[in-house]
């Protein structure tokens, strides 16, 4: 099983962006993935954690448009691939970009807590957009999204924003991607991401881990800093409903 994102892990405790994770939030069609593309143009290229990525990759490989029919065919393999990628990323402490709507705060904050428990610093970038514009943008996607679903998610996301803002504090950043604001939003995100990834790790667990790994010369969490069983458990909890 191979995938583009599993290539060239380039792990090392002195690498830029180690133990840093940025969580993106916003509506489907808000432009989160497009804006986040500016991150990969920066000094650090984080690995993308997105449950749809493997599914879309395998669907296209099978010559199918992502759909419920395609999911029945490649869904199980996509789940396995998602698990394997996340396992490798976490074992190497790689910088992460986590994509999602954050309409489900329980699932979102569970993932934040899991990365923080391993020593990661975390940040949330909230991408604002008018709901009708998000619907129009979503119509242009290869994989269609029901407008009623987007409106429902919009209400949930809007209600959750104050909660996330309080949870992340100074590491909660909003950008506006409505109308003609893409260049401004993308540029802001790029600068924010570079500053975050290049800053020293603040999480006490991460600080202690880095010091220990410098002493031991280890490049991975397994086997001296975490067991394979424990890391697999974290991955399984990550993808719980």
**Contact call for residues 175 and 126 (beta carbons, < 8 A):** yes
Domain boundaries, the chain: 19-238
Calculate helix-pair angle for 105-117, 228-238, nearest 10 degrees.
160
Q: What is the rounded CA–CA span in Å between residue 151 and residue 132? A: 8
**Contact call for residues 9 and 83 (beta carbons, < 8 A):** no
pLDDT at 18: 93
DSSP annotation string for 55-123: HHHHHHHTT--SSHHHHHHHHHHHHHHHHHHHHHHHHTT--EEE------HHHHHHHHHHHHHTT-EEE
pLDDT at 70: 57
Q: What is the rounded CA–CA span in Å between residue 168 and residue 162? A: 10
Q: What is the rounded CA–CA span in Å between residue 55 and residue 44? A: 25
**Contact call for residues 29 and 121 (beta carbons, < 8 A):** no
Fold held by 19-238 = Rossmann fold (3.40.50)
pLDDT at 152: 82
For the chain, report the end-to-end CA distance as a whole number of angstroms. 25
pLDDT at 185: 74
Profile the chain (241 residues) by mean pLDDT over runs of 10 residues. 47 84 81 69 78 62 61 64 89 89 79 96 88 77 74 82 91 82 75 90 96 92 95 91 67
This model's pTM is above 0.85 = no
Q: What is the rounded CA–CA span in Å between residue 92 and residue 81? A: 17
């Amino acid at each position: 099983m191979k995938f583009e994102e599993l290539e060239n892990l380039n792990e090392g405790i002195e690498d830029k962006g180690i133990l840093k994770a940025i969580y993106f939030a916003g509506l489907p069609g808000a432009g989160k993935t497009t804006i986040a593309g500016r991150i990969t143009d920066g000094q650090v290229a984080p690995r993308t954690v997105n449950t749809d990525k493997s599914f879309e990759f395998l669907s296209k490989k099978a010559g199918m448009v992502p759909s419920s029919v395609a999911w029945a065919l490649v869904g199980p393999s996509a789940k396995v691939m998602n698990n394997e990628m996340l396992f490798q990323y976490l074992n190497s402490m790689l910088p992460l970009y986590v994509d999602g709507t954050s309409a489900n705060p329980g699932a979102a904050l569970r993932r934040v807590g899991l990365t923080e428990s391993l020593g990661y610093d975390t940040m949330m970038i909230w991408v604002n957009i008018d709901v009708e514009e998000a619907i129009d943008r979503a119509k242009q996607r290869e994989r269609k999204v029901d407008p009623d679903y987007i409106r429902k998610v919009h209400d949930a996301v809007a209600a959750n924003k104050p909660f996330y803002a309080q949870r992340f504090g100074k590491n909660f950043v909003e950008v506006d991607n409505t109308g003609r604001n893409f260049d401004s939003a993308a540029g802001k995100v790029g600068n924010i991401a570079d500053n975050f990834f290049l800053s020293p790790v603040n999480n006490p667990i991460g600080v202690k881990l880095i010091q220990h790994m410098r002493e031991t010369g280890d490049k991975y969490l397994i086997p001296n800093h975490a067991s394979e069983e424990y890391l697999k458990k974290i991955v399984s909890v990550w993808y719980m409903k």
